[in-house]
């Protein structure tokens, strides 16, 4: 009679394939994962258990010790692939069930001690995967938060520096300050305030929870006001700042969120365009309006474009920058969308689509306080 350990070592690939087919049938939470990514370390893990079972029970390695070697499992990759920990646990549950069914179908007789060892080994494998998954995720969150804070500091640096220079210039002015200096300070303070408000909204709410306070707007007028705030930056680089929007168009939208989105798109276009133009166009469509923010900048590669519109997490490595995060969430919150058309060397066009009328939404109720011990 072939031992359980020999069976696991001999039929490793068959068992891995059987497990994979079960995982597919059950409706996976991450269906986009490839077969290779899913199986990854499973054959090694089955073979590791099988080799341990070949040894006499009294001399076997502890099931927990099997997973001390890093190469025998890699839950960190599951975090990178954005697989939930619940899915990882479910994967190993399927493995136990499929091995048991496979043994029954073959009529294999397995001793209680051998099967108990196998079961404990899978239990310890799951537990160690959870520990390492949680540790890696915590470290990843810490890195993301650090990068996110650094991104905020970088975004704030420019308006704060401009504000500092403006105040110094104002201090050197005798008599009444020049109107252009006061106007520049006004624009800088306004930009700084909008950035801080956008960051606070990004931190406090998910897009589907953002409070919405729509009002009737003339988007052409709104575009003009936003463009005026960034005209100095564009002119300093010699860029043409062009606007095409019919003044009679009206829509209902949240003014602050719309300014968040358009302001960040226009600012990014100016920031990354060395020469040529930045053009803002308002287009009327059957189901809403579309704002086009087009530039003659360097363009964005297809690889980078895929990263730009991954699900947004603050500070996510390789993900969108802070300004685009704010714009993306402002669009989603109002039932709209943000997309991109770009080719390397041929500029970029960001397309912000919004419905004609955005419905109002109140701030979600605060969570009830945690009960105090002994209360």
Q: What is the per-residue DSSP string for 152-195?
A: HHHHHHHHHHHHHHHHHHHHH--SSPPHHHHHHHHHHHHHHHHH
Residue 371 forms part of a structural domain = no
- 37 pLDDT band, cuts 50/70/90, is low
Same domain, 123 and 23: yes
| DSSP per position, 57-101 | GGGPPPGGGGG-SGGG--HHHHHHTT--HHHHHHHHHHHHHHHHH
In a shared domain, residues 152 and 112: no
pLDDT above 90 as % of the chain? 38
What's the average model confidence in pLDDT over 130-147?
80
Task: Examine residue 234 and state whether it is found in any structural domain, yes or no.
Answer: yes
**CATH number of the domain where residue 225 is located:** 3.30.565.10
What pLDDT does 182 receive? 75
Domain interval for residue 77: 4-143
pLDDT for the residue 39:
66
Per-residue model confidence (pLDDT) at position 4:
93
Placement of tokens 């714009």 in the chain? 327
Q: Is the pLDDT of residue 249 over 80?
A: yes
Would you place residue 276 in the very low, low, confident or very high pLDDT band (cuts 50, 70, 90)?
Answer: very high
- Predicted confidence at residue 225, as pLDDT, reads 87
For 295, phi and psi rounded to 5 degrees?
-140, 165
When pLDDT is averaged across residues 98-123 and rounded to a whole number, the result is: 92
Task: Indicate if the pLDDT at residue 269 is higher than 90.
Answer: yes
List of E strands, the chain: 214-217, 240-244, 251-254, 277-285, 288-295, 337-342, 348-355
Same structural domain, 84 and 21 = yes
pLDDT at residue 191 is higher than 80: no
Residues 259 and 309 in one domain: yes
What pLDDT shows up at residue 152?
A: 65
- What does pTM read for this prediction? 0.55
Number of H helices, E strands in the chain: 12, 7
How many independent structural domains does the chain possess? 3
Instruction: Give domain status of residue 364, yes or no.
Output: no
Does residue 159 or residue 310 have the better pLDDT?
159
- Whether 49 is covered by a domain: the verdict is yes
pLDDT interval class at 284 (50, 70, 90): very high
Give residue-wise pLDDT tens across range 221-245.
999 988 988 888 899 999 999 999 9
Residue 372, domain member (yes or no):
no
pLDDT > 70 fraction of the chain, expressed in percent and rounded: 79
Distance CA 325, CA 318 (A): 12
Q: Which residues contact 165 (CB under 8 A, 6 or more apart)?
A: none
Q: Please indicate, yes or no, whether residues 182 and 314 belong to a single structural domain of this protein.
A: no
Question: 36: pLDDT confidence band, cut at 50, 70 and 90?
Answer: low
Mean pLDDT of the chain: 82
Cα separations (Å) of 99 from 59, 61, 164, 310? 24, 21, 69, 37
Between residues 35 and 344, which one has the greater pLDDT?
344
Q: Do 27 and 100 belong together in one domain?
A: yes
pLDDT greater at residue 320 or residue 77: 77
What's residue 150's pLDDT?
A: 65
pLDDT at residue 33, as a whole number: 65
Per-residue model confidence (pLDDT) at position 28? 66
Average pLDDT over residues 247-274: 92
In this prediction, residue 313 carries a pLDDT of: 44
Q: What is the mean pLDDT of residues 34-56?
A: 82
Range among 3-17, 78-92, 201-215 with highest mean pLDDT value: 3-17
How is residue 229 written in tokens? 């705030």
- Is 338 found in the same domain as 317? yes
Domain membership flag for residue 166: yes
User: Could you tell me if 347 and 220 lie in one domain?
Assistant: yes
Per the CB < 8 A criterion, the answer to whether 42 and 95 are in contact is yes
Q: What is the mean pLDDT of residues 253-274?
A: 91
Domain boundary among 143, 171, 187: 143
Strands 251-254 and 288-295: unpaired
282 & 163 share domain? no
> How many CA atoms are closer than 13 Å to the CA of 147, on its beta-carbon side?
16
Q: Calculate mean pLDDT across residues 67-93.
A: 77
Nearest-5° Cα angle at 131, 130 to 133: 60
CATH number at residue 28: 1.10.490
CB 317 within 8 A of CB 333: no
Which comes out higher in pLDDT, residue 78 or 63? 63
Residue predicted with more confidence, 298 or 199: 298
Report pLDDT for 96.
92
């Amino acid at each position: 009679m072939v031992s359980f350990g020999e069976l696991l070592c001999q039929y490793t690939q068959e068992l891995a394939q059987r497990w994979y087919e079960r995982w597919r049938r059950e409706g996976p939470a991450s269906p986009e994962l490839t077969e290779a990514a899913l199986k990854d370390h499973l054959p090694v893990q089955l073979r590791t258990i099988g080799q341990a079972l070949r040894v006499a029970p009294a001399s076997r390695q502890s099931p927990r010790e099997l997973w001390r070697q890093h190469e025998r499992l890699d839950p960190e990759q599951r975090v990178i692939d954005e697989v939930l920990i619940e899915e990882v646990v479910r994967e190993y549950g399927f493995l136990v069930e499929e091995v048991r069914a496979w043994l029954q179908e073959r009529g294999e007789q397995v001793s209680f001690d051998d099967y108990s060892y196998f079961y404990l080994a899978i239990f310890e494998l799951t537990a160690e995967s959870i520990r390492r998954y949680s540790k890696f995720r915590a470290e990843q969150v810490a890195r993301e938060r650090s990068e996110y804070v650094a991104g905020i500091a970088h975004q704030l640096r420019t308006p704060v520096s401009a504000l500092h220079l403006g105040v110094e210039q104002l201090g050197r002015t005798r008599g009444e300050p020049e109107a252009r200096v006061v106007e520049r300070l006004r624009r800088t303070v306004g930009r700084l305030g909008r950035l801080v408000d956008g960051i606070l909204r990004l931190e406090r709410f998910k897009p589907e929870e953002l409070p919405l306070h729509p009002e009737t707007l003339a988007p052409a007028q709104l575009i003009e006001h936003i463009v005026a705030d960034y005209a100095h930056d564009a002119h300093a680089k010699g860029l043409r700042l062009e606007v095409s929007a019919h003044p009679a168009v009206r829509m209902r939208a949240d003014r602050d969120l719309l300014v968040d989105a358009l302001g960040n798109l226009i600012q990014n276009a100016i920031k990354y365009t060395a020469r040529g133009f930045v053009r803002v166009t308002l287009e009327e469509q059957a189901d809403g309006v579309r704002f086009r923010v087009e530039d003659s900048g360097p363009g964005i590669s297809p690889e980078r474009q895929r990263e730009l519109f991954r699900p947004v997490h603050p500070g996510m490595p390789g993900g969108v920058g802070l300004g685009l995060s704010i714009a993306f969430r402002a669009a989603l919150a109002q039932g709209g969308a943000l997309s991109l058309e770009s080719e390397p060397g041929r500029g970029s066009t960001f397309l912000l689509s919004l419905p004609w009328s955005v419905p109002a939404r109140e701030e979600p109720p605060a969570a009830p306080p945690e009960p105090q011990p002994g209360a």
